[in-house]
Amino acid sequence: MSALGKHSTTDDVLQGVDLSGKTVFITGANSGLGLESARAMAAKGARVIMAGRDPEKLDAAFSGITSLIPKARLETILVDLASLESVRTCAAQAQERLEKIDVLVNNAAVMACPLNHTADGFEMQFGTNHLGHFALTNGLMPLVLEGVGSPGSGRIVNLSSRGHFMSDVDLDDPNFERRDYNEWISYGQAKTANALFSVGLERRFADRGVHAIAVHPGGIQTNLGRHLSEEQEQALIDRVTTSDPDYEWKTIPQGAATQVWAATATELEGRGGIYCEDCRVAEVDDESRAKGVRSYALDPARADALWTLSEELTGESFGA
């Protein structure tokens, strides 16, 4: 049994783990949990591809890690998940540069922004957090399949959130074209989509050795709250502390621990279509405000419907 839990850090998770020979691709790797995941896995010998949309931020993140770990095997790659053209360019560059990807961590996100649209006209949170990663994963899948065959390979980790409690995916109007926009319903919808995408991937690729895991990292103070006013931030804090009297903020190394665990834990070998929090697999719970995963976020029929919708919207077909 794992002794890991909600206070564990990335370094606790990776104690005694050797990632040399592994290639890890992380989106949103210039900030917060993505940056810490990159640092922690590079410290264990992984070749880490840090994906982000801003070259200056990526360079600063790269330098920050190499100053701590001079031998880190790091590379950067540009991707704006709010543009399918940028996603496709990134995937094509990755295919030229890499022989395989052992672990893909779909970590980037925008939270609770005002109504806004991606380059392709999708509502920003659904478009960036889900559709951008859907298209990127399709573009990188040949590399992920190349990695299959050794322990700890063929893993896709999708960052979801307890925020998924706020909304299922509205399959009829995901882009808020016929309903009023609400920044939290939108975030909840996108984070449910991240969990359902893990189920959809598992259903299509498990028999080829690729397994996908959704993760709630905890509550961590990062740049994710950049769109919140002081009042919105206070309302969020009040909401989470009322629904969970034992609520504790995590540090960034504690927050990134569950995604690093999902990316590397031997006890998860061959498992997918699951949702993890606090370095363990969460249980389905349709009542609690403080733990678990809603049944709608792991529903296979809804995962299939979202998959079909995502293929239609992006024009991407996994050919599976």
Ligand X SMILES: NC(=O)c1ccc[n+]([C@@H]2O[C@H](COP(=O)([O-])OP(=O)(O)OC[C@H]3O[C@@H](n4cnc5c(N)ncnc54)[C@H](OP(=O)(O)O)[C@@H]3O)[C@@H](O)[C@H]2O)c1
Which residues are catalytic, by number? 160, 187, 191
Q: Give the Cα separation of 265 and 262 in Å (integer).
A: 6
Decide: helix, strand or coil at residue 220. strand
Segment near ligand X (CB under 6 A); pick from 63-71, 73-81, 94-102, 176-184: 73-81
Residue 277 carries which DSSP code? Answer: E
Q: Which one among 2, 66, 150, 223 touches ligand X, defined by CB under 6 A?
A: 223
Q: Which is nearer to ligand X, 183 or 304 (CB)?
A: 183
Site string for ligand X, 99-128 (x = CB under 6 A): --------xxxxx----------------x
Q: Which of 33, 48, 74, 112 binds ligand X (CB under 6 A)?
A: 33
Q: Which of residues 258-287 bind ligand X (CB under 6 A)?
A: none
Does residue 91 interact with ligand X by CB under 6 A? no
Return the residue of 4, 9, 22, 32 that touches ligand X, per CB under 6 A.
32
The H or E element spanning position 33 is: helix 32-43
CB 44 within 8 A of CB 18: yes
**Is there binding between residue 291 and ligand X (CB under 6 A)?**
no
With CB under 6 A, what is the number of residues at the site for ligand X?
30
Closest listed residue to residue 142, CA positions, set 189, 92, 108, 192: 92
- What's at 308, amino acid-wise? T
Cβ neighbors of 160 (< 8 A, separation 6 or more) are: 191, 192, 194, 195, 198, 214, 215, 216, 275, 297
Do 85 and 139 contact (CB within 8 A), yes or no?
A: no
The correct pick among 14, 34, 169, 197 for binding ligand X (CB under 6 A) is 34
Question: What is the closest distance, in whole angstroms, from the C-beta atom of residue 124 to ligand X in the complex?
Answer: 8
Distance CA 66, CA 87 (A): 26
Tell me which stretch binds ligand X (CB under 6 A): 62-70, 216-224, 234-242, 281-289: 216-224
Stretch that binds ligand X, among 48-56, 134-142, 277-285, 293-301 (CB under 6 A): 48-56
Using CB under 6 A, which of 4, 46, 81, 306 touches ligand X? 81
Where is 260: in which H helix or E strand?
helix 257-264
How is residue 97 written in tokens? 């540069």
State the virtual CA torsion across 199, 200, 204, 205 in degrees, nearest 10.
Answer: -50
Output DSSP code: residue 152. T
Residue nearest to ligand X (CB): 32
Report the candidate in 214, 177, 171 with the shortest Cα–Cα distance to residue 302.
Answer: 171
* 242-261 positions binding ligand X, by CB under 6 A: none
219 binds ligand X (CB under 6 A): yes
- In the bound state with ligand X, the residue whose beta carbon lies nearer, of 133 and 302, is 133
Binding site for ligand X (CB under 6 A): 27-28, 30-34, 52-54, 57, 79-82, 107-111, 128, 159, 161, 216-217, 219-220, 222-224
